[in-house]
Amino acid sequence: MNPQQPYGNPEQPQYTPPPPQQPYGAPQQPGYTPGYGSQPPMFAPAASTSRWGNSSLGGMTADVMAGLAYVSMIIAGPIIPLVLFFVEKNPFARFHAAQATLLSAGVYVVIIAGAIISAVIGVAAAAANSSVISLFGLVPSCLIGVVAIAGLVFWVMGMIAGFTGKYRKFPIIGDFAERMAGSQSLATMP
């Protein structure tokens, strides 16, 4: 051991500490590559994985907002999807909010109209004391059941389409929802 070199062999490289870490978001020094001790921030914003972009509400993707428009039909019928339609700026989410509003409103209108017609026929049958007229009251009741089942099927299809990012137009109401949302160009996207 050499008395002038108390810490070992001079041919060994000396330890040099890494440069100080820059604060998150600050511009890095030229030539600096992060090394030991540099980790990404724990709560970094997640990148959007939706091909339709982000919703203008709450930092969600447009897919999630489109699916929530259908989910909210269970809570308040057409009211929440209608509010989402007027507040949302993303065309994909607006289209699904419009379609959910029209679907919910259409189902409610047919069910209420069928119930009124069925009640009127029932009152007329009771007044005439006719069992033949009362059979005609079954037609609106059956229509209510068919519309309720169809509404449930389209509700599930809408939720699946919204959450998976698919642009699915329903018969009859899909074209009207597309015009409401101003999203005709979205239908041509793959």
pLDDT in tens, 75-91: 888 898 989 889 888 88
Which residues share a beta bridge with 54? 61
Confidence of residue 170 (pLDDT cuts 50, 70, 90): very high
pLDDT of residue 44: 46
Confidence of residue 105 (pLDDT cuts 50, 70, 90): very high
In angstroms, the CA 28 to CA 32 distance is 7
Q: What range defines the domain where residue 164 resides?
A: 62-180
Q: The tokens 């509003």 sit on which residue? A: 101
pLDDT of residue 75: 86
Q: The tokens 């039909």 sit on which residue? A: 73
The three-class DSSP label of residue 54 is strand
Indicate whether 138 belongs to any domain.
Answer: yes
Higher pLDDT, 98 or 41: 98
Indicate whether 185 belongs to any domain.
Answer: no
Indicate whether 42 belongs to any domain.
Answer: no
What pLDDT digit, counting tens, does each position of 49-61 carry?
A: 667 777 777 778 8
Indicate whether 49 belongs to any domain.
Answer: no
Q: How many domains is the chain partitioned into structurally?
A: 1
Higher pLDDT, 33 or 63: 63
Indicate whether 89 belongs to any domain.
Answer: yes
Indicate whether 147 belongs to any domain.
Answer: yes
Confidence of residue 102 (pLDDT cuts 50, 70, 90): very high
pLDDT of residue 129: 85
Q: In this model, does residue 130 exceed pLDDT 50?
A: yes
Residue type for position 77: G
pLDDT of residue 128: 86
Q: Structure pTM?
A: 0.67
Indicate whether 72 belongs to any domain.
Answer: yes
pLDDT of residue 144: 93
The three-class DSSP label of residue 133 is helix
Indicate whether 155 belongs to any domain.
Answer: yes
Q: In this model, does residue 160 exceed pLDDT 70?
A: yes
What pLDDT digit, counting tens, does each position of 62-77 carry?
A: 888 999 999 998 888 8
